[in-house]
Amino acid sequence: MLQGLSFEVFPPNTTIGVNKLTQTLKELQQLQPAFISVTCSNGTNHVADTTVKVASYIHQELHIPTIAHLPATYLSKEEVDEVLQQLDQLGIHQVLALRGDILTDVVPKADFKYADELTRYIKEQAPQFQLTGACYPEMHPESSSRITDIQNLKKKVDAGCTQLITQLFLDNELFYRFQESCYLAGIDVPILAGIMPIVNRNQALRLLKTTQTQLPRKFLAILEKYEHNPIALRDAGLAYAVDQIVDLVTQDVSGIHLYTMNDAQIAQRIVENTHSLFGENKVRVG
Ligand code: FAD
């Protein structure tokens, strides 16, 4: 069943950024998302001042369900317990259980090597939490094959993830193939499609450099044509994302998770063009 449209935001690291995010969140609230998830930097021991604080604002002030991201390779069991306790006290019971990216300059703690270990741990220690996992339609870059990737994803679901959110992708066909592989592997939880509207040249270049996301011909043509016309590139990038969403919703995707990049205008433009697709099925999780 379609779970509606949800958003991702990230905690800013300056006071100006915090004030701006508060305003952004108020604007996002008007769009009535199913939930808003809050990212967390891997390797940070300031989860309480960043992710938990933003999630608390979303939950307590805006009354929107929230999911706190929790990458745990660099956290001990005691540190995870502490974060869970803070969330529990705030009445937030949804966590995106992550391993997190490997940092070259920080030594990992030994407690959680992979996300399935964190998932199992939380399920055992704090069963009141609902757990979401990350997944990769184009395969996680460290996986040796698509089969291994799906087998490891299944471990995460078997450990207790009841929902998955994908890495961004620009080619819906890759998502449909991935969805089918999950189905064949017995992964039967909702898979929310992660969509990031690409609205400027730097963002596109960063994407090319840092992810293995395949850029379809249609998308490359937009980049090439509007490289030096920022307004047209923004319009075309938004239209591309809307096109992806329309196709996904008509193919009965479980939900759309929009990577907002903390820009409420982008989310507004997307909602303006798709709200009737979600209207009847606006279901809040949590
Ligand atoms: P895992 O599920 O542990 O997988 C990592 C690799 O190990 C994969 O190749 C997998 O196949 C393999 N593997 C998994 N389990 C096993 C096992 N039991 N045995 C052997 N191999 C195994 N990062 C952040 O730092 N902060 C965030 O807030 C954040 N939010 C994200 C949100 C979404 C929706 C997504 C898709 C990613 C997010 N990331 C975030 C990035 C993520 O942390 C990285 O992609 C990271 O490299 C993998 O994390 P994971 O939880 O998917 O890892």
pLDDT at 206: 83
Sheet strands (E) in 106-176: 130-135, 161-166
Ligand 1 pocket test target in 98, 120, 148 with most atoms within 8 Å of CB: 98
For 104-123, what is the mean pLDDT? Answer: 93
79-88, 106-115, 136-145: range with lowest mean pLDDT: 106-115
**DSSP 8-class letter at 9:** E
Mean pLDDT score of the chain:
93
**DSSP 8-class letter at 171:** -
**Topology of the domain covering 5-281:** TIM Barrel (3.20.20)
pLDDT at 204: 84
Model pTM score: 0.96
| Per-residue pLDDT band at 55 (split at 50, 70, 90) | very high
User: From CA 135, how far away is CA 257, in angstroms rounded?
Assistant: 13
End-to-end CA, the chain: 15
Residue 285, pLDDT above cutoff 80: no
pLDDT at 1: 57
Place of tokens 């089918």: 180
User: From CA 267, how far away is CA 286, in angstroms rounded?
Assistant: 22
Annotation marks residue 8 as catalytic: yes
Residue 15, pLDDT above cutoff 80: no
Residue 213, pLDDT above cutoff 80: yes
- Considering only the C-alpha atoms of the chain, give the largest distance between any 2 of them, rounded to a whole number of Å: 53
User: From CA 200, how far away is CA 198, in angstroms rounded?
Assistant: 6
The more confidently predicted of residues 278 and 264 is 264
Residues with CB under 6 A from ligand 1: 39-40, 42, 69, 71, 96, 98-101, 114-116, 134, 140, 142-143, 149, 152, 155-156, 165, 167, 194
| Per-residue pLDDT band at 43 (split at 50, 70, 90) | confident
Q: 284 CA distance to ligand 1 centroid (A)?
A: 25
pLDDT at 286: 38
Q: What share of the chain is helix, strand, coil (3-state, %, to 5)?
A: 50, 15, 35
Q: Count CA within 13 A, CB hemisphere, residue 65.
A: 17
CA-wise closest residue to 194 among 119, 116, 136: 136
| Per-residue pLDDT band at 40 (split at 50, 70, 90) | very high
Q: 44 CA distance to ligand 1 centroid (A)?
A: 16
Residue 283, pLDDT above cutoff 70: no
Q: 134 CA distance to ligand 1 centroid (A)?
A: 6
Residue 45, pLDDT above cutoff 80: no
Domain edges within the chain: 5-281
